[in-house]
Amino acid sequence: MPPDKALVDETRNWLSKAETDLRSAGILFENDRSLDGIVLFHCQQAVEKALKGFLAYHNLAFRKTHHIGELAQQCIRFEPSLETLLRQASGLTVFAWAFRYPGDPEEPASEDAGAALALARDVYNAVLSALPEDVKP
Protein backbone atom coordinates (compact mmCIF):
# COMPACT_ATOMS: atom_id res chain seq x y z
CA MET A 1 0.00 0.00 0.00
CA PRO A 2 1.54 3.35 -1.02
CA PRO A 3 2.02 6.00 1.66
CA ASP A 4 -0.43 8.87 1.79
CA LYS A 5 0.27 12.15 0.03
CA ALA A 6 1.27 13.93 3.24
CA LEU A 7 4.03 11.37 3.91
CA VAL A 8 5.26 11.58 0.34
CA ASP A 9 5.34 15.39 0.50
CA GLU A 10 7.16 15.40 3.84
CA THR A 11 9.69 12.88 2.55
CA ARG A 12 10.34 14.94 -0.58
CA ASN A 13 10.71 18.12 1.48
CA TRP A 14 13.34 16.54 3.75
CA LEU A 15 15.20 15.06 0.78
CA SER A 16 15.13 18.36 -1.09
CA LYS A 17 16.62 20.15 1.90
CA ALA A 18 19.25 17.40 2.20
CA GLU A 19 20.12 17.82 -1.47
CA THR A 20 20.46 21.59 -1.01
CA ASP A 21 22.88 21.09 1.87
CA LEU A 22 24.84 18.56 -0.16
CA ARG A 23 25.06 20.89 -3.15
CA SER A 24 26.09 23.77 -0.88
CA ALA A 25 28.85 21.66 0.66
CA GLY A 26 30.11 20.72 -2.81
CA ILE A 27 30.15 24.30 -4.07
CA LEU A 28 31.99 25.56 -1.00
CA PHE A 29 34.47 22.68 -1.11
CA GLU A 30 35.30 23.34 -4.75
CA ASN A 31 35.49 27.13 -4.50
CA ASP A 32 36.73 28.22 -1.08
CA ARG A 33 38.82 25.86 1.01
CA SER A 34 38.88 28.38 3.86
CA LEU A 35 35.26 27.37 4.50
CA ASP A 36 35.89 23.68 5.20
CA GLY A 37 34.25 23.99 8.63
CA ILE A 38 31.05 25.11 6.93
CA VAL A 39 31.43 22.29 4.40
CA LEU A 40 31.46 19.86 7.31
CA PHE A 41 28.36 21.50 8.78
CA HIS A 42 26.47 21.12 5.50
CA CYS A 43 27.59 17.48 5.21
CA GLN A 44 26.19 16.76 8.67
CA GLN A 45 22.98 18.57 7.80
CA ALA A 46 22.58 16.69 4.51
CA VAL A 47 22.88 13.32 6.25
CA GLU A 48 20.59 14.34 9.10
CA LYS A 49 17.89 15.55 6.71
CA ALA A 50 18.18 12.53 4.42
CA LEU A 51 17.67 10.23 7.40
CA LYS A 52 14.72 12.28 8.63
CA GLY A 53 13.21 12.02 5.14
CA PHE A 54 13.65 8.26 5.24
CA LEU A 55 11.95 8.10 8.63
CA ALA A 56 9.16 10.39 7.44
CA TYR A 57 8.46 8.02 4.55
CA HIS A 58 8.10 5.19 7.06
CA ASN A 59 5.82 7.36 9.20
CA LEU A 60 8.15 7.10 12.19
CA ALA A 61 8.17 10.09 14.49
CA PHE A 62 11.61 11.31 15.50
CA ARG A 63 12.62 13.88 18.04
CA LYS A 64 14.38 17.11 17.17
CA THR A 65 18.01 16.08 17.17
CA HIS A 66 21.24 16.49 15.25
CA HIS A 67 22.46 13.09 16.45
CA ILE A 68 23.00 11.00 13.33
CA GLY A 69 23.64 7.82 15.34
CA GLU A 70 20.22 8.08 16.96
CA LEU A 71 18.48 8.64 13.63
CA ALA A 72 20.54 5.87 12.05
CA GLN A 73 19.36 3.33 14.61
CA GLN A 74 15.77 4.12 13.70
CA CYS A 75 16.49 3.87 9.96
CA ILE A 76 18.28 0.53 10.28
CA ARG A 77 15.07 -1.00 11.62
CA PHE A 78 13.54 -0.44 8.17
CA GLU A 79 16.66 -0.97 6.05
CA PRO A 80 19.37 -3.07 7.72
CA SER A 81 21.63 -2.78 4.66
CA LEU A 82 22.31 0.86 5.63
CA GLU A 83 23.95 -0.10 8.93
CA THR A 84 27.63 -0.04 7.95
CA LEU A 85 27.37 3.23 6.07
CA LEU A 86 25.32 4.92 8.79
CA ARG A 87 27.75 3.82 11.48
CA GLN A 88 30.46 5.66 9.54
CA ALA A 89 28.21 8.68 9.11
CA SER A 90 27.49 8.95 12.83
CA GLY A 91 30.91 10.59 13.18
CA LEU A 92 29.52 13.61 11.32
CA THR A 93 27.26 14.49 14.26
CA VAL A 94 29.87 16.71 15.89
CA PHE A 95 29.93 18.98 12.84
CA ALA A 96 26.46 20.27 13.68
CA TRP A 97 28.26 22.59 16.09
CA ALA A 98 32.06 22.17 15.74
CA PHE A 99 33.93 24.97 13.96
CA ARG A 100 30.87 27.22 14.03
CA TYR A 101 31.45 29.44 17.06
CA PRO A 102 34.22 31.70 18.31
CA GLY A 103 36.70 29.82 20.46
CA ASP A 104 36.08 26.53 18.66
CA PRO A 105 39.03 24.34 17.72
CA GLU A 106 41.16 25.21 14.73
CA GLU A 107 39.69 24.73 11.31
CA PRO A 108 39.51 21.15 10.04
CA ALA A 109 42.03 19.56 7.72
CA SER A 110 41.11 19.72 4.03
CA GLU A 111 41.06 15.94 3.77
CA ASP A 112 38.42 15.84 6.53
CA ALA A 113 36.08 18.01 4.48
CA GLY A 114 36.63 15.95 1.34
CA ALA A 115 36.02 12.67 3.16
CA ALA A 116 32.89 14.04 4.83
CA LEU A 117 31.54 15.26 1.50
CA ALA A 118 32.08 11.84 -0.10
CA LEU A 119 30.42 10.13 2.87
CA ALA A 120 27.44 12.50 2.86
CA ARG A 121 26.95 11.87 -0.86
CA ASP A 122 27.10 8.12 -0.27
CA VAL A 123 24.51 8.31 2.50
CA TYR A 124 22.18 10.51 0.47
CA ASN A 125 22.39 8.16 -2.52
CA ALA A 126 21.90 5.08 -0.33
CA VAL A 127 18.80 6.60 1.24
CA LEU A 128 17.42 7.46 -2.20
CA SER A 129 18.10 3.90 -3.35
CA ALA A 130 16.17 2.54 -0.37
CA LEU A 131 13.06 4.55 -1.26
CA PRO A 132 10.59 4.07 -4.10
CA GLU A 133 10.99 6.27 -7.18
CA ASP A 134 7.72 8.12 -6.63
CA VAL A 135 8.92 9.81 -3.42
CA LYS A 136 12.27 11.05 -4.69
CA PRO A 137 12.60 14.79 -5.28
Q: Give the CATH number, domain containing residue 40.
A: 1.20.120.330
pLDDT of residue 100: 79
Number of domains in the chain: 1
Q: Are 123 and 89 in contact (CB under 8 A)?
A: yes
pLDDT per residue as tens digits for the range 39-84? 999 999 999 999 999 999 999 999 999 999 999 999 999 999 999 9
Structural domain that includes position 106: 5-135
* % residues pLDDT > 70 (the chain): 96
**pTM, whole model, 2 decimals?**
0.94
